[in-house]
Chain A
């Protein structure tokens, strides 16, 4: 019945919205209509959010990868000082903090380091740490969430309480304390990856556990169980495919959070050590100069904002595109 998809125009009459999809095979639109379906699939994968998210994220990935190439072109690196470009009181002379053909984003106050190099090499650090720590937390979260969701009782209780502990843990204080304790010979980026990765999993795990709990109750899981399938078979064929869309979206949305955390830790002075360029540390530096040289704050700040925005767009777009039921009714 085609009204199964109807949206009442007014809220004053009892709404049937919860009926969507309640009647299997009831809508004529579910009849195979490959052309329309293909067109719909195309339009899902071409949503503005997905396209722009991909564009922005690819831009930053390229920026990070091509940082050494830019160094070859302009001859700048994020370490070399150009004090000759600084005027009185160590503020860069010229328009917009010393923007010129050689220094695209100008130079920093006080030391005269090229800001474009800081942003492009900083992208390597930010994206690298963001992606690597997200991989760790996603894998941990998936494995722990699956086990907790599929094996109720002792396993679930143990894993869920562990999640609670990690949730309640004052992450920032712990990270600051850790950076004071760990000898400075230990590579900082690796430390950040591990800290962010090992504190990032409980959110994913909780989500995966909840989703696993609902997928276990699905009829098709029961069907497999009644067939005599092993837990491994059910996890592999019934549960995991149902988790993947959610996991992909969750992962994409988690990356900007990690990048932000890295920036925050570097801002606080417990992240990446100088002189390695980092957006967070650049922003923290630039805050002191914001009134006399605002561009020094704006360039790394915009980079951080844009990459976060780009990943969020990408995640939103993916979540729409991966759910075949979304958009079909629109």
Chain B
């Protein structure tokens, strides 16, 4: 454990305060990193965890005011946070002694350069004496170290030819290529699928052990902390509020904020005798029925099917969770059900109507009985209109579809009522989307979706861009509203962890095919398909007794 006092820390950080425009963002932050250990810095968006860590590599925003000390090993003469460091020692530090892994592997690489060249670049800076051949060998060696298959092929590949997980491995290879003693990984798995996430975390663990690296993982996800870290610092509003070994933090959290973070983590309980998830009334009449639906985005005959022979059923008032990895076709199903896409084969019935057969006003009327909640709460609202307008928009649409005309007073009242329903202060109605937090915006999206009392709500990853404590509140809201409004819900997610909280039934989708479906408790307790089991294994499960 990292608390082992006999070991020398590789990096000691103390009294770090960072401010912008005179407003402090972090206060007196301290942490130590030990060789062979993964340390996690956990906190929500805006808690200052990333700025603190990035300041070490001098990757903080240039206008930040940084004060404090950070010493490498026992060398207390060189404060690496010193702003007067010259360019040469800065370069030696960055990449040489501290390697950095970023969150979005897809956008962190130059799309026009081969990956080999990009990894080689940092060798040219840090080890200029190497010959071309030696450099290539070093890169291939690093690719092997991060367990990339066919290093030779990846050396000459461009970023678009690799998957997100593979690119993240390349980025890790880039971070370790100059044999640094410290790696800072900023949300290294947030952009990845859950199965890929597990593999990347295992890789980091292996590297820490084999190379005696001190790794700092910055994350908001307690699941990641549990999987990978040995020591944890919890950060809230720019302060370290609690620290301790992972076991300590998870078994005996002392600070209320830590307890809140832990409570908010969706618990996946798989024992068959667990309390039953909201019971599914399978006798409920089908509201949505998909029969043998196949869809291809291309008109060529041999084109790959985005959806292959999908049959689904959502009963009135029930929630069906659709789970799968990115690219599996989850969102496509949402689009088919909401009538944005027409499948080439199969039938889609919504409340007995076939959307494909409708046109013009009839189609629009059918659509108005469907509510849609988007993943990205900021792009789902018209940026130039107020929140109040966005919530009132469905009412405007309903009027144009022949609904009763409302006076602006009545409309305002409806908006107020809806805002109260979703837990928003009606005073926010005159605000613009960018003035709200992500959680508030998502509530606006929900208010808009339920404004016409829909029979069906389609929620496409509604919480995946939210902090975990906010996620919990939004999920709670969706559940309470369902009891009140009685809508059926298609809940699209990649996170098996939250399925139990919201859904009655579960369908697992892989490469455009449904591999398994049934009631949530049944599928989680007795997964029949191998892929469901992989997903279950990969989702971070916090199980104290197993550790």
Contacts and interface: CB of A to CB of B under 8 A. Distances in A.
Interface stretch (A19-27, A111-119, A166-174): A19-27
A241 B372 contact: no
Nearest to A330: B63
B253 interface: no
B382 A18 contact: no
Interface in B381-404: 381-385, 390, 393-394, 396-398, 400-401
Nearest to B364: A228
Contacts of B379: 24, 218-220
A228 B401 contact: yes
B276 to A, nearest CB: 33
A2 B59 contact: no
Given A23-B465, A225-B340, A230-B364, A241 B382 contact: yes
A26 B103 contact: no
Contact of B61 (A6, A10, A19, A222): A6
Given A3-B186, A7-B62, A220-B380, A14 B46 contact: no
A223 B439 contact: no
Interface in A10-37: 10, 12-16, 18-19, 21-28, 30-32, 37
Nearest to A26: B45
A104 interface: no
Q: How large is the interface on A (under 10, 10 to 19, 20 to 34, 35 or more residues)?
A: 35 or more
Interface in B14-71: 20, 25, 45-51, 54, 57-62
Contacts of A1: 45-47, 49-50, 187
Contacts of A2: 20, 25, 46, 48, 50-51, 61
B340 A3 contact: no
B372 A12 contact: no
A19 to B, nearest CB: 6
A222 B372 contact: yes
B394 A227 contact: yes
Contacts of A233: 396-397, 400
Interface string B153-176: 000000000000000000100100
Given A16-B102, A233-B400, A224 B393 contact: yes
A219 B104 CA distance: 22
A320 interface: no
A226 B435 contact: no
Given A2-B51, A13-B94, A28 B396 contact: no
Interface string B429-454: 00100111111110001001000100
Interface in A114-133: none
Contact of B377 (A12, A21, A24, A224): A24
Contacts of B345: none
Contact of B107 (A9, A16, A37, A220): A16
B46 A28 contact: yes
B382 A237 contact: yes
Contacts of A14: 100, 102, 108-109, 118, 171, 174
Given A2-B46, A219-B376, A25 B364 contact: no
Contacts, number: 174
A87 interface: no
A12 B95 contact: yes
A220 B381 contact: yes
Given A23-B45, A25-B437, A226 B91 contact: no
B365 interface: yes
Nearest to A17: B107
B61 A7 contact: yes
A327 interface: no
A48 B384 CA distance: 25
Contact of B397 (A9, A25, A227): A227
Nearest to A14: B108
Contacts of A31: 437
Interface string A65-94: 000000000000000000000000000000
A13 B48 contact: no
Interface string B348-374: 000000000000000111111011101
B104 A19 contact: yes
Contact of B368 (A4, A5, A228, A238): A228
A225 B94 contact: no
A274 interface: no
B22 to A, nearest CB: 12
A220 B389 CA distance: 12
A242 interface: yes
Given A27-B46, A220-B379, A223-B448, A241 B59 contact: no
A12 B121 contact: yes
A96 interface: no
Contacts of B466: 25
Interface in A180-234: 218-220, 222-230, 233
A294 interface: no
B342 interface: no
Contact of B378 (A4, A18, A25, A28): A25
A330 to B, nearest CB: 9
B122 A12 contact: yes
A26 B371 CA distance: 26
B397 A228 contact: yes
A13 B382 contact: no
Nearest to B374: A219
A31 B436 CA distance: 6
A27 B436 CA distance: 11
B125 interface: yes
Contacts of B368: 227-228
Nearest to B449: A223
B441 A9 contact: no
A219 B50 CA distance: 29
A39 B20 CA distance: 16
Nearest to B171: A14
Nearest to B57: A13
Nearest to B370: A226
Contacts of A13: 57, 59, 94-95, 100, 122
B181 interface: no
A16 B187 CA distance: 13
Interface of B: 20, 25, 45-51, 54, 57-62, 90-91, 94-95, 100, 102-104, 107-109, 118, 121-122, 125, 171, 174, 186-187, 338-340, 363-368, 370-372, 374, 376-385, 390, 393-394, 396-398, 400-401, 431, 434-441, 445, 448, 452, 458, 465-466
Closest 5 CB pairs of A and B: A25-B438, A228-B368, A14-B108, A3-B50, A24-B378
Given A1-B46, A5-B61, A226-B458, 16 more contacts: A1-B47, A3-B50, A3-B51, A3-B54, A6-B54, A6-B60, A12-B91, A12-B125, A14-B108, A16-B102, A25-B436, A25-B439, A226-B338, A226-B340, A230-B364, A241-B384
13 contacts: A1-B187, A3-B186, A7-B61, A9-B62, A21-B378, A25-B378, A25-B466, A31-B437, A226-B458, A228-B367, A228-B368, A230-B397, A237-B393
